[in-house]
Structure 1
Amino acid sequence: MLHIELDVFSGRPNPYWKLTAREERELIDRLKASPAALRPVSDVESRLGYRGMVVHADRAGQERLTRAGLPPVFRLRESTGLNVSDVTERWLLHTPGAQQILTPEVSGESARTIGSPSALQDSGSSGLDAALAACATWSSTWADLNTFWNGARRPSNNCYNFASSLATNTFAQPGRGTGQIFTSLTIGAVKDATFRDGYTAGCNDDRFVDYVCIWPGTDYHFYHRIADFWGSLRRWAHKPGSTPATNVDNSGQPITDPITCNRGPYTWDGAPYIYARVNPRATIN
């Protein structure tokens, strides 16, 4: 049996669906005809929104893939750029299993991204207020964070782990560690869940700054304020889902301000700065 993972979320686990026997045969035939579409699972961009599809197989499925000369698990994408395997990915996106699992928002965003680059957006600064500028806004430098997050911890920690500077290896969800996860995908609900985990709405000397935004009704995403290599400049970084942590946005530009950077489908914010302790006292899980 083959399962398709749509690599699309940042905070929540990605959606999966299984293929029918007929769909499995068709997918294998398509991939044998176009092996350039196959990439290692780790060969992925750190960007928000659609990042390709990952094919997973149980033991019987792995045997069928092996007999066809295909790897047991792989990513469908031409490269880590935006030239994706258009025809096969569009076909998978419209299989009945996908249509049952994916919301119109997720399916539409993925279809828009497949085969064409996202529109570019300016990554200029909107200006930070005095309270934000005065806060202790990093727990480490970018060089340290990059080394810490982009090795073995990368697949099992998400944007909330990264923003909290706490690797739980559980794909942490706001509020889960303190017994009440967020109840809806709104800024208010996600922020309230982080407050239960020990975040606050105000800044003081022992806190760093995070920024939360929403893909309306679909997912959430966190940005984390850091220092550069020398500790002299305040910048922003993020970790889209299980992808590597990065300090660039969906346009490949350095993130000087999460309000104005290219956030892909995560379009909604609303006074989203929140503050976490340098040494978290509550359990993030």
Structure 2
Amino acid sequence: MLHIELDVFSGRPNPHWKLTAREERELIERLKANRSGLRQVNDVESKLGYRGMVVTADRSSQERLTASGLPPSFRLREATGLQVSDVTERWLLHTPGAQSTISPEVGGVVDLTIGSPTAQQEGGGQAIAACATWSSTWADLNTFWNGARRPTNNCYNFASSLATGTFAQPGRGTGSIFTALTIANIKAAVFRDGYTSACNDDRFVSYVCIWPGTDFHFYHRIADYSGSLQRWAHKPGSTPATNVDNSGLAITNPVTCNRGPYTVDGSPYIYPRVNPRSTIN
């Protein structure tokens, strides 16, 4: 049996579904005819929104893939850029298993993303509070997050500077997870986890935004900034941490950068501890 993961979320776990035997045969035939969309699982852009589909197989399906000259697991994405083919990816998106798993909102965004790149230029930076002493450099963050910790830690782990290996969810570690995907609800949950709305000497700076009704995403301010020109980084889901936005531009302001479908602004900023409580989970 083939398992499909839609790699699309940053904070929440990605949607999964299984192919029927007939769909599995059709996918194999499609890939035998055109392998241009095959990528290694870790060959992925660190951006918000749709990043391809990860295909994994059980033992019997691995044998069928191998017999067809295909790898036992792979990422399906026509190109590691915004220009993509829409044929097989769009077909998978509209299989019955996908339709029963993926919300219309998510499916609509993915459908538009496949083959329809968008660009958004970032606005100017904005001056924000101190807390500068505790910011990390991009070099440090890149080294810490983009090795073995990468697959099992998400944007909330990254913004909290705490690698739990659990795809941390706001409020889960303190026994009361968020109950709605709204800025107010997410912020109430992170405050229970030890964040505050005010900067002081043991804090650094984070920013939260939301894909309406669908997912949350966090940014973390990094140390290479001066005056009103800020620098930020983020970690979209299980992908590598990065210091650029969906347009490939350095992030000087998370409020105005290209955030893909995460359109709900979470201003003002929020402040985790330097050593957040271990209850973040």
Distance 1:65 1:124, change over 3 A: same
- Partner of 1:177, secondary structure, is coil
Letter in 2 for 1:34: N
TM-score by length of 1: 0.94
Per-residue displacement from partner, 1:70-125 (whole Å, max 9, x unpaired)? 0000000122112323100000010011110111110000000001212x112122
- Alignment of 1:186 onto 2:182: yes
Quote how far apart the aligned CAs of 1:59 are: 1.2
Structure 2 residue aligned with 1:211, among 203, 207, 211?
Answer: 207
2:219 corresponds in structure 1 to: 223
Question: 2-side partners of 1:199 and 1:282: how far apart?
Answer: 13
Quote how far apart the aligned CAs of 1:258 are: 0.4
Where does structure 1 lack aligned partners over 5 or more consecutive residues? none
- Alignment of 1:172 onto 2:172: no
1:122 corresponds in structure 2 to: 121
Preserved contact between residue 125 and residue 230 of structure 2 (Cα < 8 Å)? no
Quote how far apart the aligned CAs of 1:259 are: 0.5
Question: 2-side partners of 1:133 and 1:198: how far apart?
Answer: 19
- Alignment of 1:247 onto 2:243: yes
1:200 corresponds in structure 2 to: 196
Structure 1 residue aligned with 2:271, among 258, 265, 275?
Answer: 275
- Partner of 1:127, secondary structure, is coil
1:52 corresponds in structure 2 to: 52
2:138 corresponds in structure 1 to: 142
Count the aligned residue pairs: 279
Quote how far apart the aligned CAs of 1:282 are: 4.6
Deviation larger for 83-92 or 102-111: 83-92
- Partner of 1:261, secondary structure, is coil
Preserved contact between residue 131 and residue 204 of structure 2 (Cα < 8 Å)? yes
Structure 1 segments, 4+ long, off by >6 Å, are none
Distance 1:134 1:229, change over 3 A: closer
Question: 2-side partners of 1:159 and 1:137: how far apart?
Answer: 22
Quote how far apart the aligned CAs of 1:62 are: 1.0
1:79 corresponds in structure 2 to: 79
1:161 corresponds in structure 2 to: 157
2:63 corresponds in structure 1 to: 63
Quote how far apart the aligned CAs of 1:134 are: 1.9
Where does structure 2 lack aligned partners over 5 or more consecutive residues? none
Q: C-alpha root-mean-square deviation of aligned residues, in Å?
A: 1.6
Letter in 2 for 1:110: V
Preserved contact between residue 12 and residue 169 of structure 2 (Cα < 8 Å)? yes
Letter in 1 for 2:55: V
- Alignment of 1:263 onto 2:281: no
Question: 1-side partners of 2:175 and 2:76: how far apart?
Answer: 37
Question: 2-side partners of 1:108 and 1:92: how far apart?
Answer: 14
Preserved contact between residue 12 and residue 220 of structure 1 (Cα < 8 Å)? yes
Preserved contact between residue 77 and residue 83 of structure 1 (Cα < 8 Å)? no
Quote how far apart the aligned CAs of 1:32 are: 0.5
Deviation larger for 63-72 or 7-16: 63-72
Letter in 2 for 1:101: T
Letter in 2 for 1:139: S
Letter in 2 for 1:257: N
- Partner of 1:51, secondary structure, is coil
Identity across matched positions, percent: 79
Preserved contact between residue 126 and residue 230 of structure 2 (Cα < 8 Å)? no
Letter in 2 for 1:249: D
Quote how far apart the aligned CAs of 1:270 are: 4.1
- Alignment of 1:11 onto 2:11: yes
Question: 1-side partners of 2:134 and 2:23: how far apart?
Answer: 48
Question: 2-side partners of 1:13 and 1:185: how far apart?
Answer: 14
Distance 1:85 1:62, change over 3 A: farther
TM-score by length of 2: 0.96
Letter in 1 for 2:135: S
Quote how far apart the aligned CAs of 1:240 are: 0.4
Distance 1:123 1:24, change over 3 A: same
Question: 2-side partners of 1:213 and 1:110: how far apart?
Answer: 19
